[in-house]
Copies of this chain bind each other. A is one copy, B any other.
Amino acid sequence: MEIHQLRYFLAVAETASFTRAAKFCHVSQPSLSIQLAKLEAELGGALLERGRKGARLTQRGERFKPRASEVLSQLELARQELGDLDGLKAGRVGLGCLPTTGAFVLPPLLKAYRQAYPGVQVVLREDSSPGLRQALLDGEVDLAIVDEAGLGVGIGSAPLLVEPLLLALPSKHRLAKRSSVRFGELAAEAWVLMKPGHGFRVIVNRLFADLGMVPKVVFESDEIATVQALIAAGMGISLVPRMVKRSGLAYARIAPVQPTRSLALAWRSGAALSAAATALKAICIAQGGKP
């Protein structure tokens, strides 16, 4: 059973004539006759009744017609849908981001994207960098905004932004008035940090390791908001990305070498990005993550 046979069959059903159907299908009448004979042979019986002045459907033909019609409709619909997908009139793109960044970088990105491609659905996923990395590899998201911990083998990336990590202090802290602090001055401080595995916990660990020290960690959380709340309550100090600055805390730069974290847009290396994902990638890179 071939698709062109279905097309020929429906043309005959429509025109009640092999000759007219052949013209309609832009093939010769013998070709059409032969193909229909094959179709009938494969289906085990006549679909058409040939007469002196044309052809009419047999009962089997009447029964077969809606199926053949449905097949061609589905194929047409498939083309249509794929066209919509490519034309960004439809589709879906999965975007991952870090909980500490979502609230800051996503709104302008998504606003621009939604305006440009209102038909595309964006599915968000907030997770840690390793979690996002896995989600990329599993194809659960198409793109993700991650820090260094989200990269690695199998992941492609483009830099989005580099932002300084600031020392976050209770406003009454002895260093609260300082605009910059050397890291060595912090050896004895109590630290409130993100739990291990989070991207910039890694950065803090590295900073201490470089100094041959171990931080005195008094609290750990998964939420940057919690960390800052604990600091505001005077439980300790921390390093936080500049984008989460809020009132009620004091922030100081680290000197002389300011630590930073880099955010990058990441995707699975081998992945054939969908049109929707490609467009989102372009917007991300164009905006550079800067609101």
Q: Which residues of B contact A277 (CB under 8 A)?
A: 59
Please measure, in the bound complex, the distance between the C-alpha atom of A58 and the C-alpha atom of B91, giving whole angstroms: 12
Asked if A67 is at the interface (CB within 8 A of a chain B CB), the reply is: yes
Establish whether residues B49 and A272, one from each chain, have CB atoms under 8 Å apart when the complex forms: yes
Q: Which of A29-37, A76-84, A96-104, A190-198 contacts B (4 or more CB under 8 A)?
A: A76-84
Report B-chain residues with C-beta under 8 Å of the C-beta of A44.
82-83, 86
A202 to chain B, nearest CB (A): 29
Q: For the complex, what is the distance from the CA of A83 to the CA of B63, rounded to whole Å?
A: 11
Asked if A290 is an interface residue, CB under 8 A from chain B, the answer is no
Q: A45 interface residue, CB < 8 Å from B?
A: yes
- Residues from chain B with a CB closer than 8 A to the CB of A78 are 43, 63-64, 67-68
Taking the complex as formed, is A271 at the interface, i.e. its CB lies under 8 A from any CB of chain B?
A: yes
* Chain B residues, Cβ within 8 Å of A3: 1-3
A45 near B86 with CB under 8 A, answer yes
Q: Which residues of B contact A173 (CB under 8 A)?
A: none
Cβ contact within 8 Å between B82 and A274? no
Scoring A43, A60, A77 by chain B CB atoms within 10 A of each residue's CB, the highest score goes to A60
Copies per assembly: 2
A276 adjacent to chain B (CB < 8 Å): yes
Chain B neighbourhood of A43, CB < 8 A? 78-79, 82
Q: In the bound complex, what is the Cα–Cα distance between A67 and B79 (angstroms)?
A: 10
Scan A201-243; emit 1 where CB is below 8 A from any B CB, else 0: 0000000000000000000000000000000000000000000
Contact at B81–A67, with CB atoms within 8 Å?
A: yes
Contact between chains at B74 and A67 (CB < 8 Å): yes
Across-interface contacts of A162 in B (CB, < 8 A): none
Judge whether A59 and B274 touch: CB under 8 Å. yes
| 16 CB < 8 A contacts A-B | A2-B2, A3-B3, A43-B78, A43-B79, A43-B82, A49-B270, A49-B271, A51-B270, A58-B272, A60-B85, A63-B81, A64-B81, A70-B70, A70-B74, A71-B74, A71-B75
19 other contacts beyond A1-B3, A59-B92, with CB at 8 A cut-off? A1-B75, A2-B3, A3-B3, A43-B78, A43-B82, A44-B82, A44-B83, A45-B82, A49-B272, A59-B142, A63-B78, A63-B81, A63-B82, A64-B81, A64-B82, A67-B75, A67-B77, A70-B74, A71-B75
Q: Top 8 A-B pairs ranked by shortest CB distance?
A: A67-B78, A59-B274, A49-B272, A70-B74, A71-B74, A67-B74, A71-B71, A58-B272
